[in-house]
Amino acid sequence: MSLTQPRTPAGTRITAQTLLEKKRAHEPITAVTAADYPTARLLDEAEIDLILVGDSLAMATLGHENTLSITMDEMLHHARAVSRGAPHSFLVGDMPYGSYHVSEEEAVRNALRFIREAGMAAVKLEGAHPSLVARLAAAEIQVVGHLGLTPQAVHRMGGYKVQGRTLDAAEALLEDALALEHAGAVALVLEGIPRELAERITRHLEIPTIGIGAGPGCDGQILVFHDLFHLTFAPSAKFVRRFGDAASLFRDGLADFKHEVATRTFPADSESYHLPVAVAQAMAQPLAKV
């Protein structure tokens, strides 16, 4: 028996309330992205609190240049797979670019698809849109905000640049964070901002902050699964720490597979099927003439 109690009793689900209680108890919240069923299984079994089906999957799993081209239908395809594998974690669907920009009505419709068709508990959207967050909250949809380096604004930012470095920008970010909390957001992702600013926002908010490139003062931390395990091919941002090297694991395994097929050491007899003895004997006889 482990000395520590399991995070939640079997069969129970992490909720926004659990995350809020963790903030209040100063227990760090863990969050990781997932795009498919096996990853969701691993994260849920590892007792990761929050799983985000992030639109970064456009880049990490689909090879797109940025996150702008992924559609609602593609996001739902991944979200459904993730929800099948994660019975305990708090599940968040990332609203893709264009899915919440045309009208609030269309945003509500798209957010509802994540909840109804894909089993998500909440949706996340980038930027300071407090009236939209309030509208979603009124439709009984839980919303996670996302401020700072918001990747869907890559063209406006002129690249993936740290945000909130001037006094004006830092004060505006704090105001936006408070407005999102006031509008009913249940948590807030802070990405690519100075740690001092993230600490200040975290202290001012009642809802939990989950940081990525926002320093250690946030209530939780999130990373992209593929970054954690070196399954990305582009140079990574400063905030990425590798917790394993799956690329090396796969490269070595593939080289071994190639070698064992080439030398006919795979498959072995024990990895092959056999005829029943009687059939094998009958087959050993010369073929009967017709």
Residues of this chain that interact with Mg ion (CB under 5 A) are 54-55, 94
- Rounded to the nearest whole angstrom, what is the least distance from the CB of residue 238 to ligand MHF in the complex? 4
Residue 189 neighbours by CB distance under 10 Å? 28
In this complex, which beta carbon is closest to Mg ion, that of residue 85 or of residue 192?
192
198, 224, 229, 230: residue in contact with ligand MHF (rule CB under 6 A) = 224
Extended strands (E) in the chain: 29-33, 50-53, 90-94, 122-126, 142-148, 187-191, 209-212, 220-223
**Residue 206, both tokens:** 């009642």
**Site residues for ligand KIV, window 118-177 (CB under 6 A)?**
none
**What is the DSSP pairing of strand 122-126 with strand 187-191?**
unpaired
Token couple for 198: 């993230």
Give dist(CA 68, CA 83) in Å, integer: 23
- Output the smallest distance, CB 101 to ligand MHF, in A: 18
Tokens for 54, please give them: 């992030």
User: For ligand MHF, which residue of 60, 81, 118, 133 counts as binding (CB under 6 A)?
Assistant: 60
Stretch that binds ligand KIV, among 40-48, 53-61, 71-79, 128-136 (CB under 6 A): 53-61
Q: What distances in angstroms separate CA 274 from CA 209, 217, 269, one per listed residue?
A: 59, 61, 9
Per CB under 6 A, 153 contacts ligand MHF: no
Q: Does 42 bind ligand MHF (CB under 6 A)?
A: no
- Looking up tokens 């105001």 gives 175
* DSSP-derived 3-state class of residue 153: helix
User: Among 42, 237, 246, 247, which residue interacts with ligand MHF (rule: CB under 6 A)?
Assistant: 237
What's 162's DSSP letter?
A: -
Nearer to ligand MHF (CB atom), residue 65 or residue 168: 65
What backbone torsions phi and psi does residue 75 show, to the nearest 5 degrees?
Answer: -60, -40
Whether residue 83 contacts residue 91, with contact meaning beta carbons closer than 8 Å, is answered with yes
| Stretch of 54-62, 130-138, 166-174, 179-187 lying at the interface with ligand KIV (CB under 6 A) | 54-62
In the complex, least distance from residue 52 CB atom to ligand KIV, rounded to whole angstroms: 6
Stretch that binds ligand KIV, among 10-18, 48-56, 79-87, 238-246 (CB under 6 A): 48-56
Query: Per rule CB under 6 A, is residue 192 in the interface with ligand MHF?
Result: yes
Residue 49 near which of ligand KIV, Mg ion, ligand MHF, none (CB within 5-8 Å, type-dependent): none
Residues at the binding site for 3-methyl-2-oxobutanoate are 55-56, 94, 124
Q: Select 141 or 189, whichever has its Cβ closest to ligand KIV.
A: 189
Size of the site for ligand KIV (CB under 6 A): 11
CB nearer ligand MHF, residue 18 or residue 221: 221
- Quick one: which of 151, 184, 208, 211 contacts ligand MHF (CB under 6 A)? 151
Q: Which long-range contacts (CB under 8 A, 24 or more apart) does 13-16 make?
A: 13/87, 13/88, 13/89, 13/90, 13/121, 14/49, 14/50, 14/88, 14/89, 14/90, 15/90, 15/121, 16/90, 16/121, 16/122, 16/142, 16/186, 16/187
What is the DSSP annotation of 14-47? --HHHHHHHHHTTPPEEEEE--SHHHHHHHHHTT
Identify whether 45 is a catalytic site residue. no
Catalytic residue among 65, 106, 191, 199: 191
Active site residues: 191
Q: Which residues of the shown chain bind ligand MHF in the complex (CB under 6 A)?
A: 56, 59-60, 67, 149, 151, 160-162, 192, 224, 226-227, 232, 237-238
